[in-house]
Chains A and B, each alone.
Chain A
Amino acid sequence: MTQIADAEAALPAEPDLIEVSHLSKWYGTHQVLKDVSFAVKPSEVVCIIGPSGSGKSTLLRCVNFLEDFQQGSVTVRGKTVDYTTWRSGEGARDMRSNINQIRREVAMVFQQFNLWPHMTVLENVAQPLVLVHGNDRRQARERALHMLEKVGLTAKADEYPIRLSGGQQQRVGIARALAVEPAAILFDEPTSSLDPELVGEVLQVMKGLAREGMTMVVVTHEMHFAAEVADRVIFLDDGAKAEEGVPSEILLNSRNERTRRFLQTWVERNSLFGENSLRSAQK
Chain B
Amino acid sequence: MDMSLFVRYGPQILVGLKYTVVIWVIGSIFAILLGFLLGFALSFGNRSMALLLRGYVEFFRGTPLLAQLFLLYYGGPSVGITLDASTVGLLGLGLYGSAYFAEIFRAGFASIPRSQFEAAASFGIPKLAQLRYVTLPQIFVLVIPPSTNLLIVLLKDTAVLSILTVPELTFQVTGMTIETFVFIEPFVALAAVYWTLTELVAFLGRRLEVRVGRYLQP
Contact = CB atoms under 8 A, between A and B. Distances in A.
Contact of B122 (A108, A118, A160): A108
Interface stretch (A109-117, A202-210, A273-281): A109-117
Interface in B118-133: 118-126, 129, 133
A116 B122 CA distance: 13
A119 B122 CA distance: 17
B79 to A, nearest CB: 46
A131 B215 contact: no
B113 to A, nearest CB: 8
B122 A107 contact: yes
B149 interface: no
The bracket for how many chain B residues form the interface is: 20 to 34
Contacts of A66: 118, 121-122
A114 B119 contact: yes
A51 to B, nearest CB: 23
Contacts of B119: 108, 110, 114-116
Interface string B100-134: 00000000000000011011111111100100011
23 contacts: A66-B118, A66-B121, A101-B124, A103-B121, A103-B123, A104-B124, A107-B122, A107-B123, A108-B119, A110-B122, A114-B115, A114-B118, A114-B119, A115-B119, A117-B215, A118-B138, A118-B141, A127-B125, A128-B125, A131-B123, A131-B125, A132-B125, A163-B218
A113 to B, nearest CB: 9
Contacts of A128: 123-125
Specify which of A66, A112, A116, A161 lies most central, judged by the most chain B CB atoms within 10 Å of its CB.
A116
B214 A116 contact: no
B120 to A, nearest CB: 8
A162 interface: yes
A282 interface: no
Given A118-B138, A131-B129, A110 B218 contact: no
A187 to B, nearest CB: 12
Given A66-B118, A103-B124, A119-B215, 16 more contacts: A100-B124, A103-B123, A107-B123, A110-B118, A116-B119, A117-B116, A117-B138, A117-B216, A127-B125, A128-B124, A128-B125, A131-B123, A131-B126, A131-B129, A162-B218, A163-B218
Contacts of B120: 116
Interface of B: 115-116, 118-126, 129, 133-134, 137-138, 141, 214-218
Main secondary structure of the interface of B (DSSP, over half): helix
A180 interface: yes
The bracket for how many chain A residues form the interface is: 20 to 34
Contacts of A100: 124
B143 to A, nearest CB: 13
Contacts of A162: 215-218
A114 B121 CA distance: 11
Specify which of A64, A101, A118, A180 lies most central, judged by the most chain B CB atoms within 10 Å of its CB.
A118
A122 to B, nearest CB: 13
A57 to B, nearest CB: 12
Contact of A160 (B121, B125, B141, B215): B215
A103 B119 CA distance: 11
B134 A116 contact: yes
